[in-house]
Structure formats: C-alpha cells, structure tokens
Structure 1
Amino acid sequence: MPLSEQEQRALDEMERSLYQNDADFVSAVNPRKGKPNYRMMVIGVLVAVAGIIALLTGVIIQQPLVGVLGFIVMFVGVLLFVSPSRSSDADLDADAAPASSSNSTKRGASFMDTLNERWDRRQDGRG
C-alpha cells in the first residue's frame, strides 16, 4: 500500500530531522564515509591467508593448538578486512555533533509539536 503524498513528506521530514539530530544513529547506519581503507583490506587478506595456512598446517601435522591459533589468526584477518575505515572525517563529525545539539533541541521540539498538532487535527476530522 503506497503512502499518500502528505505521509511521504512527513516521513521525509522525520528522516531529515533524525539524520540532523542523532549522530550516533547516522554513524551506526552509515559507518563508512569516504573511500575504503585499502591498506587495511590488504593487511586483512594477508593475515587471513596466513591464518588459513596455519590452520591447514595444524590439521596436517595433527596439532590442535596450531589449528586453533591458525583459526584465530584467520578470524582476525577477516575482521580487519571488513572493519569500517576510521577516517578523520568521522572524528570531525563526532566533535561537531555536541556543538549543534542545543540548536537541534529547539528544532526537534517544534517538529514534534507540529506532528502532534497534525495528529490531533486528523483525529478530530474523523470523530
């Protein structure tokens, strides 16, 4: 069931407000900003391959400790490969977020008041 034009506008406005007011949510939804960190990806692949080699070596020589250590090294390599890049842009955004929070509180309150008024008008129109 498609949304009406008014509902779509309200949803877009709520989304914009959420992105402006909640820096933690934005960083959770969009952890990668800018270019991927290719150096960490290459290091992750190399570590994972070394872990696979150690794992297979442990299986071949029948030494469980070597196999377990190889698995751990392989797992760390995969984590390095898929981990989000940490750029200076993310640090700047985190530092800038508290400065704008006092401004956004006023906007957030008026936005919620507007939504509450719309809801009340809608309910009165039906009843």
Structure 2
Amino acid sequence: MPLSEEELRLLEQMERALVEEDPKFASTLRGTTLRRTARRRAILAGVVFVVGIVVLMTGVISQVIPLGIVGFVIMLVSATVSLTAIRGQAAATAEPRATGHPSGFAVIDGGRGARLRRPRRSGAGRSGQSHGSFMERLEERWRRRRDQNGGF
C-alpha cells in the first residue's frame, strides 16, 4: 500500500531532521555512503601504492637507501589501508539485508552476524595418545624412540 502525500512529506521531514541531528547514523542507515567511502579509500590506497613503488624504485636506482625504505613503508601502509577498505566494503555489501525505500533509507533486518566459535579444550582432560596436544605427542614419540634404542 503506497504512502499518501502527507505521509511522504512527514517522512522526508523526519529524514532531514535525522540527517541534521546525527549524520553518521543517517549514513549508516543509507548504507551506500559507507560503500562509496570504502571504494574510494581502496582506490586511493591503490594509487598511493603505485607512488610507493615509484619512490622505492627511485631510491634503489639512485642508491639512496632511506628513500627506498620510505617507499617500502608507503607501499606497506597503503596495502594495509586497501585491504581494510576492501574487507569493510565486502562486509557492508554482504551483511545488511534491507528493504529499500525511494529516499535511500533502508530498514536493516540484521546486524553483523556473530561468528560461532568452538570452545577450546585443554589437553589435560583428553584421553588417548592421538588426542593429546602437539607437545604431548612429541614427548611420547621421544620416549618411545629412547626406549627402543636402549636409552642414551
């Protein structure tokens, strides 16, 4: 059932008020701004990575070691930023399942899914040799070899 003109007008007023009051929250509800920001950040990091390669190669060719090191650090930082942005973009596109609205806002059905982790078990409560910890298995192998060879 479509909204009436008055309801649409009220909704737009509420949206404007929300954007004025808390622009970060409003951009989170839209979802598109975060993806664009992540995409821009990844592209910029790629360009900076190429600049880092140029600086590194300039340092190598001119035999100025500190310049080469600076180029490598630039490449490292830009690669880290790029990977972080790409992961954030993938998470932003995969996580929210939203129902669209013409104004760009969306009702988010779910947030970030919690990863299920299995609780870790300590090696002391396990029975049998094959289920022991790595170090316990190594020690057992060492003892068997020592016993088979008659000791040291």
TM-score, normalised on structure 1?
0.40
Q: Going by fraction, where is helix more abundant, 1 or 2?
A: 1
Computing the radius of gyration from Cα coordinates, the structure with the larger value is: 2
Could you say which structure has the greater relative contact order, defined with CA pairs below 8 angstroms and 6 or more residues apart? 1
